[in-house]
Structure 1
Amino acid sequence: MDYLRWLFDAQIPVAGTSLLLREVLGNLFGLASALGGMRRRVWAWPVGVVGNLLLLTVFLGNVVGASAPATLWGQAGRQVMFIAVAVFGWIRWRQGKRDADSHGVAVVPRWAGPRARIVLVVTLFLGTGLLTPLFSVLGSYPPVWADAWTFVGSLLATYGMAKGWTEFWLIWVAVDVVGVPLLFSAGYYASAVMYLFYGFFTLTGFFVWWRAQRREAEGGALRAAPSTTAGAH
């Protein structure tokens, strides 16, 4: 219990201010999860859950009696959402790894398709519009629409990752563009800096998955070529 109390209250002094240790650790676990996701490793999901639990206690702010800059209901709610979707992604990727070849990856990247892309974009804007009044009533830090945007975008990006859609990286970019200014203004500097880094990281992840997708497609074509030729004889 003493260790948990220390973890809950510990702060790191930085440039005349202080950062919650839980916030720093939560983002480090999140970064490790993102690295695992880029490499398409199953362990990315449970590692991410640990970070989500830590950040949940951070963004609830004074609701849990913590010394925090502000309460961000969207940021807190998305940690709960992350955990729920992580269970889905964990199961899906474990199954994918069992069904995959010896490359050791858990999912083969693919495009979401035109219809799914439309659904993703519409859901992002519609969900933001619907949740903004709710987060306002709950007392989320302004601009409240930005908190709602990061919540809905994070849900869609995590779902896209579980499905193996390469576009999920671009959704994260859209989340980071809005989330970085919001977190800086709310005083969550560790998360804001991490989001800023994520912005560049997610672009890298997009191209990594895109290249992997092309390699898988080319490999599939080469594997299919002999059987096609044999069928012709």
Structure 2
Amino acid sequence: MDVLNWLFNAQLHIGDQSILWREVLGNVFGLLSALGGMRRKVWAWPVGIVGNALLFTVFLGAVFGTPNPVNLLGQAGRQVMFIVVSIYGWVRWQQAKHDGGAAVSPQWAGWKNRIWLVVALVGGTAIVTPVFQLLGSYEPVWADAWIFVGSLLATYGMAKGWVEFWLIWVAVDLVGVPLLVSAGYYASAFMYVFYGAFTIVGFIVWARVRRGERLTIETRFPDPTVHTDGPNWQ
């Protein structure tokens, strides 16, 4: 109980600002999860869930009586969504590993899925925004809704193994940093800046892995080339 009390109440004081250690630790777990995701490790999912649980209590400041009384419903709601989708991703990656393959094999989503992701991000934000407004989320509410919907799509894309999911995180971070700064969640805003750079690296790593796997497949199973004297394997 003493550990839980400390975890719930401990604060880091920087000048006249107070930052909950829960916010710091939650973002650290999130960073470790992102690192594990880039390396395609199954443990990335349960580690991320721990961070989600911590951050859920942080972003409902008015409910949990934290030093920051601002409620970011999109940020809090996405933690619940993360946990649900992470369970799906955890099971999916673990099953793939049990079947004798890698936890996930990066693949391009394809133009059909890319268009669907863009439409879902924009349309989902438009749908969720008035809901968050009615619930009293922090302004600008559309930014909170954008973060919520984008996080859902990015986590789903990670579970599917789509390389493009990293780019969705970039779009989330671009909106998330100024929103978190204006709301006073400085630790999370700082981590979002770091995440932004990290997600670009993650995209490059996954794209290279995909290219390497494709080259391996093409080398082992080359396409037949038809010559005048009959088919020949290059």
| Bigger shift: residues 19-28 or 56-65 | 56-65
**Equivalent residue, structure 2, for 1:216:** 213
Q: Which runs of 4+ in 1 moved over 2 A?
A: 64-69, 98-101, 225-228
Structure 2 residue identity aligned to 1:132? T
Superposed CA RMSD in Å reads 1.7
| 3-state DSSP of counterpart to 1:18 | strand
Q: CA deviation at 1:98?
A: 2.2
Q: What's the offset of the Cα at 1:225?
A: 3.9
Q: Match of 2:59?
A: 59
2:228 alignment partner in structure 1: none
Give CA-to-partner distance per residue, 1:99-149, whole Å, 9 cap, x none: 344xxx411100111111111101101110111111111111100000000
- Which residue number in structure 1 is paired with residue 133 of structure 2? 136
Within 2, Cα distance between the matches of 1:70 and 1:225?
58
Q: After the TM superposition, which residues 6-45 of structure 1 pair with which residues of structure 2 at under 5 Å, given as runs?
A: 6-45=6-45
Q: Helix, strand or coil: the match of 1:71?
A: coil
Q: CA deviation at 1:62?
A: 1.4
29-38 or 91-100, larger mean C-alpha shift: 91-100
- Specify the SS of the correspondent of 1:12: strand
User: Which of 147, 151, 157 is matched with 1:150 structurally?
Assistant: 147
Alignment of 1:118-133 (within 5 A): 118-133=115-130
Partner of 1:92: 92
Question: Shift of the alpha carbon at 1:177?
Answer: 0.2
Q: Which moved more, 1:57-66 or 1:32-41?
A: 57-66
Percent identity for Structure 1 against Structure 2: 65
Deviation string 1:31-55 (CA, Å, 9 cap, x unpaired) is 0000000000000000000000000
Per-residue deviation at 1:65? Answer: 2.9
Give the structure 2 partner of residue 184 of structure 1. Answer: 181
How many Å apart are 1:69 and its aligned residue?
4.1
Counterpart contact for 2:18–2:67, Cα < 8 Å = no
TM superposition score normalised by structure 1? 0.93
Aligned residue pairs total: 228
Task: Flag the structure with higher helix content.
Answer: 1
**Distance (whole Å) between structure 1 residues aligned to residue 188 and residue 224 of structure 2:** 52
Larger Rg: 2
Q: TM (normalized to structure 2)?
A: 0.93
Q: 1:113 to 1:76 in 2, by over 3 A?
A: same
Residue 5 of structure 2 aligns to which amino acid in structure 1? R
For residues 2 and 98 of structure 1, the distance between their equivalents in structure 2, rounded to whole angstroms, comes to 39
Q: Secondary structure at the match of 2:221?
A: helix
Q: Does 1:116 align with 2:84?
A: no
Give the SS at the match of 1:166.
Answer: coil
SS at match of 2:138: coil
Structure 1: 5+ residue stretches without partners = none
Query: Corresponding residue for 1:168?
Result: 165
How many Å separate the matches in 2 of 1:16 and 1:61? Answer: 18
Does structure 1 conserve the Cα–Cα contact (< 8 Å) formed by 2:52 and 2:80?
Answer: yes
CA distance in 1, matches of 2:18, 2:64: 19
Q: Counterpart in 1 of 2:202? A: 205
Asked if 1 retains the 8 angstrom alpha-carbon contact of 2:178 and 2:189, the reply is: yes
